[in-house]
Structure 1
Amino acid sequence: MMRAWFWVPLILLLSTPMAGAQVSTITVAIDHAPPYSDTDGPEPRGLLLDILAPIAAELGLEVRVVPCPFSRCVHMLEQNEVDIMGGLIRTKQREQGLTFVTPAYMALHSSFRFYSLRASDLDITYYEDLHGKRIAVMRGAAHFARFDKDSDIIKVPVTSEQVAVQMLLKKRVDLFIGVEETADHAMSILQQPVHQLIKQPYHFQDSIFGHMAYSRDFASSIRAKQITSLYRSMAEQGRLTELVKPYALPPIQGHSEQ
């Protein structure tokens, strides 16, 4: 199967100091996760691309976008098939194969919620109530440590929240887990029948940070070091805060990471 490749049109090399020099290309994996990224239109768009556009223009880089399901994006990054991905929660396991760039550009103070069919008789009031239930989880995603490490939980990997809702409606799973703030927004955009779903009482409140991350090979390159330097300068100057503002995210400076 041929993979679709997209060239981000925001980079006008003739306007950069490096015009006429040999052009380098960086590959960026983007999953469909509205409102933060959208791969359904004629050209992928989203917050990470908004951030990389001025950096790429200054360095004279072209950005090649690889649309992919979340789990596939992570796998490609781990296998050095792409250079950069965004919106990743930093975990010790992921740090073994990826390099995370700080500060995080996404800070969500939200809950991991469990959604079920309204017509079901489920009552998930305590964590222990999750045992014995089939729970749809985004393949490759990180949640909260207790849940992720619990081998007794029946986890059914899915490629997207849309698939998770479809499986729930068909009663192939009992629950699906999602970040409440993003899941609610995504379901409204994707026109899912949210009226048929309810949020269970049990939830896990957390501060969730989404990072830009590099593949292992790319992290050791001069380009990665240049991108990191410019990215951090943008954060210090408040430019990142201006870029995340349209996405209803809090300022970059001032929040702490776990």
Structure 2
Amino acid sequence: MRWAALFLSLALVMPAVAQPVRVGVSHSPPYRVAEDGRFSGLYLDIFDEIANRLGWQVQYREAPYRRVLRLAEDGQLDVVLGARRTDEREVYLDFVAPAFPADRRLFFYQTDTHRIERYDDLYGRVIGAREATRYFPRFDEDTSLMKELVGRYENLMLMLERGRVDVVIAPELVGRYTLNQLGLTASVSPYTVPGDPVYLAVAKGSPLQAQAEAIRATVQAMENDGIYQEILGQYLDQGKP
């Protein structure tokens, strides 16, 4: 009843969105999937639920992630899905709600001797990591680690399967999704690292800024009624060893 009353009060005060909400989508499975004009993925499943509850019409636009950010900065998009907060982006984005899961960093392995119990276990291991990717500061800045940098997680998981690397570090959902897509299995080390908050961001100057409170309330309602965890669970189940 409390949430029903809150939504009613928000509906009475928030301005209607008269035009489609313009959302940028870069192809980054399983978060955002853009193939042949069709859009899906975890972030879109969550966002579609938010949009449906708030009665929005949505228009998705595919572009590489850096271009999505530029389009939002130029006022050509209303929403960026899965944005991480930085001082630079604060200039043109309103980080409305951490609407998407903060993906843990996992260490996948095949052989028990390569199981990672603590950070120091990484020394002496060949660690597969995606190039130009930030995981967490200590790991990113540690020049004593033996890192094998590759452009795609698919290749890293195949290298793990073939024994060319001892461990692969990956965000949880990406790692599980990639294993599932390849039909492979791997074990997950006990040592994990929390991920950073991931936001639903609205371009500053967009009419959608006026609905920031309604967005936050909707995300909270989804968590309270279990639909958020239900959506997330569909992706967490993928690729479990």
With the length of structure 1 as denominator, give the TM-score of the two structures: 0.59
The residue number in structure 2 matching 1:76 is: 67
Aligned AA for 2:187? I
Residues 26-37 of structure 1: pairs in structure 2 closer than 5 A: 26-34=22-30, 36-37=31-32
Residue of structure 2 equivalent to 1:8: none
Aligned counterparts of 1:123 and 1:50: Cα–Cα separation in 2? 34
Secondary structure at the aligned position of 2:135 is classed as coil
Residue in 2 aligned with 1:206? 194
1:148 to 128, 140, 144: 140
* Partner amino acid, structure 2, of 1:106: F
1:60-111 alpha-carbon deviations (Å, 9 max, x no partner):
65422316xxxx52x3344447844433454xxx343354624312345x75
Aligned to 2:62: 66
Among 231, 236, 241, the residue aligned to 1:247: 231
Counterpart for residue 44 of structure 1: 39
Instruction: Show CA shifts across 1:192-240 (max 9, x none).
Output: 321xx33345x134365332235xxxx222334135343124235x146
CA distance in 1, matches of 2:215, 2:110: 43
> What's the % identity of the aligned pairs?
16
Residue correspondence of structure 1 range 123-202 to structure 2 within 5 A: 124-131=116-123, 133-139=125-131, 141-153=133-145, 154=147, 156-159=149-152, 161-180=153-172, 182-183=173-174, 185-187=176-178, 189-194=180-185, 197-200=186-189
Q: Which residue of 2 aligns with 1:103?
A: 97
For structure 2, list consecutive stretches of 5 or more residues without a partner in the other structure: 1-15, 234-241
CA pair 25-125 structure 1, distance change in 2 beyond 3 A: closer
Residues 1:112 and 2:105 are matched in the alignment = yes
Cα distance, 1:141 vs structure 2: 4.5
Kindly indicate whether the alpha-carbon contact (under 8 Å) linking 1:139 and 1:157 is maintained by their aligned counterparts in 2. Answer: yes
Q: Which residue in the other structure is 2:9 paired with?
A: none
Change (3 A) 1:41 1:79: closer
3-state SS, counterpart of residue 190 of structure 1: helix
- 1:87 corresponds, among 82, 90, 114, to 82
Structure with greater strand share of residues: 1
Alpha-carbon spacing, 1:226–1:189, altered in 2? closer, same or farther (3 Å): farther
Confirm or deny that 1:232 pairs with 2:216: yes
Q: Distance in 2 between matches of 1:121 and 1:233?
A: 47
Contact in 2 for aligned 1:105/1:244 (Cα 8 Å)? no
> d(CA) in 1 for partners of 2:42 and 2:115?
37
On the 8 A contact 2:46/2:231 being kept in 1, the answer is: no
Length-normalised TM-score, structure 2:
0.62
**Root-mean-square deviation (CA), in Å?**
4.0
- Rounded to whole Å, the distance in 2 between the matches of 1:213 and 1:140 is 23
Alpha-carbon distance between aligned partners in 2 of 1:241 and 1:138, rounded to the nearest angstrom: 35
